[in-house]
Structure formats: C-alpha cells, structure tokens
Amino acid sequence: MLSRAATRLLTAVPTLFVLVGLSFFLMHAAPGGPFDSERSLAPEVEARLNAQFHLDEPAWRQFGRYLGGLLHGDLGPSLQYEGRSVAGLIGDGAPVSAALGAVALLLALTGGVALGAIAALRRDSALDRGLMLLALLGLSLPSYVVAPLLILVFALALDWLPAGGWDGPASVLLPAVALALPQLAAIARLTRGALGEVLAAPWIRAARAKGLPERLIVFRHALRPALLPVLSWLGPAAAGLMTGSVVVEQVFGIPGIGRYFVQGALNRDYTLVLGVVLFYGALVVTFNFLVDLAYGLLDPRTRPT
Amino acid sequence: MSLLSIDQLRVRHRGVTVVDGVSFSIEAGESLALVGESGSGKSQTALAMLGLLPATATIEGSVRLRGEELLGAPRATLDGVRGRRIAMVFQDPMSSLNPCLTIGLQMAEVLEQHRGMRRADALREAQAMLDAVRINEPRRRLGQYPHELSGGMRQRVLIATALLARPELLIADEPTTALDATVQAEVLALLDELRQALGLSLLLITHDLGVVSGHCERMLVMYAGRLVEAGPTRAVLAAPRHPYSAALLASRPSLHGPKPHRLPAIAGQPPDPSRRPPGCAFAPRCAAVQPSCRVQVPILQTDGLRAWACPVVAAGNQGETGVEDRNGA
C-alpha cells in the first residue's frame, strides 16, 4: 500500500513537468509581452526591463532558468505586480480561496448526495422530477447570474448576510453557495444515477430477500458503491473549488487567487500564470491521489492484495 | 395445512403476462422442483411469492404461508418472512453478494435482523454455518470480500446465509447453473444433506432435469407462464403426460447408446410472452397437436396424484403423445 502510494506520488513529477513545459511555451508563443500596453514605453526602458527579467534570452534558456528556480522552490517575481513574488501572491490568496472552497465543497457534497439519494429513492415521482429540474437549473445558471441574485435576495432584500468582503464566517456563506451550486447539482445528478443503478443490482434484491429493512438496504448496501462515481468526480472538482473562481471572488470582493488566472494571462504575466497553473496542477494531482486512496476504502476490489 | 400455497398467481409487466394462473402448494419438509426453459416464468413466480418484483409489476392471486397472505402484505410483514421463514438463494453467486461488504457482515446482518443478535454473536454463528457448508478456514472467510472467493465458495456462502435464520422453506433459483459440473454436484449434495438435517422444505428452480431427478420428490413443469404438468418426479420422468414434458425429456443428451449426430431439440422456439398464441402455448411446437388446442387453453386435469394440461392425453395412455419417449420407460 505504502509503496503504491509512493509510486503514485512519484508519477506526479513528470505530470507536473509536462504541465509546466506546455504552459510555458504556449504562453511565450502567444503574441505580446508583459510590458506591452497602450502607452508604449521608451525602447531603452523596455529593453532594460526585458533584460532584468531575462526576457531577451531565447525561450529554452528562460525555461531552464525557470526550472532551476522551481527546484529551489522559487516561482520567480511577478512581472506585473511590482516588487511581489509569485509565491507571495499565491501564499496570500490561496488560504482565502481554499477556505471558501472547502466550505463550498462540503455544501456540494452533503447537499448533492442527500438530494441525489432522495431523487433516486423516489424515482419518477414529482419530487424526483422537481429536484432534477432544479439540478439542471443549478448546472446551467452561470455564477455571474447566481452570485448577484444571492446578494440581491439575502443581502439587500432580507439583510441576513453581508453582500461581500472577507470578514468572518457570515461573509463566507453566500459566495460558498454560489461556488457550490453547480457542483452540488452535478453531484446530485451523479448520485441519483449511480444509486438508481445500484438499487437495480442483483445483490440488492438478494439483500431484500434476506428481510433487511429499506434503511439498511440503502445506507449499508446501496450507498457505498453508489458513491464511487461521485468520488471520481470529486478529485478535479475539489481542486477547482479550492483554487477559487474569478467570477465569484470578483462579485463578492474576495481576495483569493481566482483572479490571477485571468489577470495573469491577460497581462502576459508569465511567471504568475505559470505559478497558478503549477499550483492548480499540484492540487489536481493531490486530490486525485486522495480519491484513489478513498476508492480503496469504499471498494475493496480496488485494494492491492 | 400446506406450508405454502400459491393460488392463481398472475404476474404482468407492462401488460405482458409472464406468469398466468399458476397454482401449487409446498408441504412441510417437501422438496419440489419447478422446471422450465428460461423465460417460462419460473423465477418470476418465485420472486412474486416473496414480493421481490419491481413495483411496476402487477401481481394477482394469492400466496399464503401457513394461511397468512403474503401478496400485498406490508413491508414489515414481508421483512419478517423473507430471510427468516422463507429464504432464497439466487442463480448467480457472483452478483448476489455485495462486492463492498465483507462476507461476515453480509451473513451476520441476517441474525442481527431476525434474531436480534449482537454482531459478535452473529459472527460466531455465521462462522459455524460456514463450517457446516464445508468452507475451509471459515474464520478467515468472515473478513474477506466476495471477490476473494471462488464461485463455488460464494454459492456455499449464499446457502449458509440463507440457512442462518433456520427458515422453513428455501427457494433455490438455479443455484448451480453458474457453477462447473463437479462443484454443482457438491452443492446439490450439500443442499440435500442440509434439507434433511434441518427438516426444511425446498423449492428448486431449474431447467436441468438431471438435477430434478436426484434431488426432488415432486416436480412442476412450466411453459410460457403456465403450469403444464405436475406430479411425483419419478412418475413424471418415467412417463410424462404433457407433450412438452415429454419433448423436454427426449431432448436430454444420453450417455448411453450411439452418439447422435446432433443433440435432439424441440423444434421451434418458445413464444414471445407478449405474443403468446391463443389456446395451448405449446401447440405450434407440439407433435400431437389437435385443432382444438389452438383455440382453447387446456385446463389442468388431475387424477389425484398427477396433473397435466393437455386434453389430447388421457390418464393412463400417455403413449399417445406422439413424441417418442427415448428413455423407453
């Protein structure tokens, strides 16, 4: 088990290397540079800036330089935020995004599994149809619609929760709901489908033939195998939630790292983009690894013997 | 009073009748075989008896366990019967065990449910039962998962589980079909032995006449959802009265005599349940068919000991079925 886990973690290194390499060269292939703007700089100034950040060197040398920095845990300086290091920017924003994401993840998981299970147990009833319609709505409504709506209702009209900012537990709730909603809807649909399938399995009929009450049939016999597809979904979904969302963080004025993904790319802030991509990649790899471990707990067939 | 009496049982799925007016009873301690091709409605009959069909199925008739009606009974009543008074072993030992739960838990839960036992005591009893069905290292098996066991072992586990609560009736639906021949014989011998030791009744659902002859006192033959013949196994196999039973018997491969060029088979196909012919469902394939057979569904006639649903064959002159009885009995 331990050696399998170690092997899994080791394969993460080439994965991340490819990720960084692709991002690096794609980024440099895109037209424009970090110091382009409407107001053009004097050629000497731009040349000096380029030299300072080694942007005048050939791309492969810059890449080598970047990798060298990575080995020392150095993500380089931001090209856009003067005097800030990429590691510092991520270090400031990541805990905020992660906290928000964790709350959203909890909401999505508990709510999604509960609603999906209810729908599966009342399959084809009005309740099932209603829930699935809501889930479809949750999936299709973009967060720039949901987030302002939430503010409108719960902050402005009802005045129950703050409309924005990052200040205490109350301020987490609305953005977490906005962030969680599509994931919750997806998990509800996944759970419904999987649980419906498992409930039709021969071993469920066999369990009924043993005279077990429905409570045990559902919670002991059906739910565990039904959660496997949800678990697979959870790896990338968790990484996505933890790295925040540009829209939600923007609407609620939350100092997370979601905005760096877009701003970094628009500004050709090479180091910042690479930094957040690497951070996101590492999270995806980590969560997929955790999912693999959890899979073994839920499904004994996947445990190594 | 019979242990279990089934009266005019009818099962329909979305308007298609798959079990049509089946009546029979099982006496205490008796072993009864329900024989038929796949699709004849034998499994549907068993599932309907225990309320295990999906809610979309329409079930009519009556199923009484020592006089108590089971059809339409509330879930709580059924849960008190299933697994405790009537246990069932399913055809496929691979998929009848939950892949995510240990053997021990899947056995112990029966005793926790029906005997109110605590986990530790239930596991101890489960271990004893595994030993009784001759599974080696029973203690280790309790902690194992289904995929770690062989097919034969899994079927033994299912039988052991079914017997834990000491049921009065065991329904075994093709319990050996998924197993290879030697394991099949072992499992059947085990069933016989346990039946005698525990004094329970057995309803054995099978398509295999070889299994029937050695293990059941009485047999029922189903065709296209209807009962076509019933009687003591020895008598039915020696001289079948319904042409379908006779044809079924004639199509058994034999170890004796010259090897046939092709295995004998009944000409034609069993009817699609949604397009069952009027009259006798076997008429299109029957060698002794009469014009009236295609019009009127034959009633089950009986001579007290045996019953058969064929007007062509009168009691005592079964030689007229027109189907050669290769066994010559």
CA gap A281, A239 in Å, rounded: 8
Structure confidence at residue A189 (pLDDT): 94
Q: Which sequence spans correspond to the domains of chain B?
A: 4-25+33-204, 229-254+265-321
**Cβ-Cβ contacts under 8 Å for B215 (sequence gap 6 or more):** B31, B33, B188, B191, B192, B202, B204
Minimal Cβ distance to A213: which of B79, B84, B95: B79
**With an 8 Å Cβ cutoff, is B78 touching chain A?**
yes
Has residue B19 got a pLDDT over 70?
yes
Q: Report, as an integer, the average pLDDT of A50-56.
A: 77
> Among positive and negative, which fits the CA dihedral A97, A98, A104, A105?
positive
Give the per-residue pLDDT at A30: 78
Residue B82 per-residue DSSP state: B
Q: How confident is the model at residue B207 (pLDDT cuts 50, 70, 90)?
A: confident
The answer on pLDDT for A72 being more than 90 is: no
Band the pLDDT of B260: cuts 50, 70, 90. Answer: low
| Long-range CB pairs of B234-239, under 8 A, 24+ apart, other chains included | B235/B305, B235/B306, B236/B306, B237/B209, B237/B212, B237/B213, B237/B327, B237/B329, B238/B327, B238/B329, B239/B318, B239/B325, B239/B329
Distance from CA of A274 to the nearest CA of B (A): 42
Averaged pLDDT, A120-143: 89
| Phi, psi values for residue A252, rounded to 5° | -95, 0
**Cβ–Cβ under 8 Å, residues A147 and A177:** no
Contact state of A225 with B52 under an 8 Å Cβ cutoff? no
Phi, psi of A2 (to 5 degrees): -65, -40
Which residue out of B98, B102, B168 would a mutagenesis test of the A interface target, given it has the greatest number of A Cβ atoms within 10 Å? B98
In the stretch 13-52 of chain B, residues with CB closer than 8 A to chain A read 47, 50, 52
Q: Is the pLDDT at B327 greater than 50, yes or no?
A: no
Q: Is B141 on the interface with A (CB under 8 A)?
A: no
The predicted-structure confidence for B70-110, as pLDDT tens digits, reads as follows 998 999 999 999 999 999 999 888 889 999 999 999 999 99
Query: What part of A 62-91 touches B (C-beta under 8 Å)?
Result: none
| Averaged pLDDT for residues A69-85 | 81
Model pLDDT, residue A203: 93
Instruction: Report which of residues B196 and B317 the model is more confident about.
Output: B196
Kindly determine whether residue B98 and residue A221, on different chains, have CB atoms separated by under 8 Å. Answer: yes
| Residues A185-209 pLDDT 10s | 999 999 999 999 999 999 999 999 9
The Cα of B114 is separated from the nearest Cα of chain A by a number of Å equal to: 8
**How many beta carbons lie within 10 A of that of residue A145, not counting itself?**
12
Q: What is the sign of the dihedral through the CA atoms of B104, B105, B111 and B117?
A: positive
Encoded amino acid at A262, one letter: V
- Report ipTM for this prediction: 0.86
Give the count of Cβ contacts less than 8 A between chain A and B. 76
Measuring CA to CA, which residue among B24, B329, B96 is closest to residue A204? B96
Say if residue A305's pLDDT is above 70: no
| CB-CB neighbours of B293 under 10 Å | 22
Top mean pLDDT of A2-11, A294-303, B310-319 is at: A294-303
Q: Which residues on adjacent β-strands are paired with residue B5?
A: B25, B64
CA B146 to CA B96: how far, in whole Å?
A: 9
Mean residue pLDDT across chain A: 85
Q: Which domains are assigned to chain A? A: 86-302 (1.10.3720.10)
What average pLDDT score do residues A279-285 get?
89
Q: Does A205 sit within 8 Å of B113, measured CB to CB?
A: no
Q: For A151-182, how does the pLDDT look when each residue is reduced to its tens digit (9 = 90+)?
A: 888 878 888 888 777 877 878 888 989 899 99
Q: Could you tell me if A221 lies within 8 Å of chain B, comparing CB atoms?
A: yes
Q: What is the spatial distance between Cα B263 and Cα B250, in angstroms, rounded to a whole number?
A: 10
pLDDT at B326 over 60: no
Interface of B with A in 219-258 (CB under 8 A): none
The topology under which CATH files domain B4-25+33-204 is Rossmann fold (3.40.50)
pLDDT of residue B268: 80
All residues of chain A having their beta carbon less than 8 Å from the beta carbon of residue B158 are 206
- pLDDT-based confidence at residue A265 (cuts at 50, 70, 90): confident
More confident: B183 or B315: B183
pLDDT of residue A44: 78
Q: What are phi and psi of B146, to 5 degrees?
A: -50, -40
| Contact (CB<8Å) B82/A221 | no
Mean pLDDT (whole number) for B26-45: 92
Instruction: Inspect the interface and report whether the beta carbons of B114 and A220 lie closer than 8 Å.
Output: no
Question: What pLDDT score was predicted for residue B328?
Answer: 38
Question: Do residue B83 and residue A210 have CB atoms under 8 angstroms apart?
Answer: yes
Residue whose tokens read 């009484």: B64
Question: What pLDDT score was predicted for residue A93?
Answer: 85
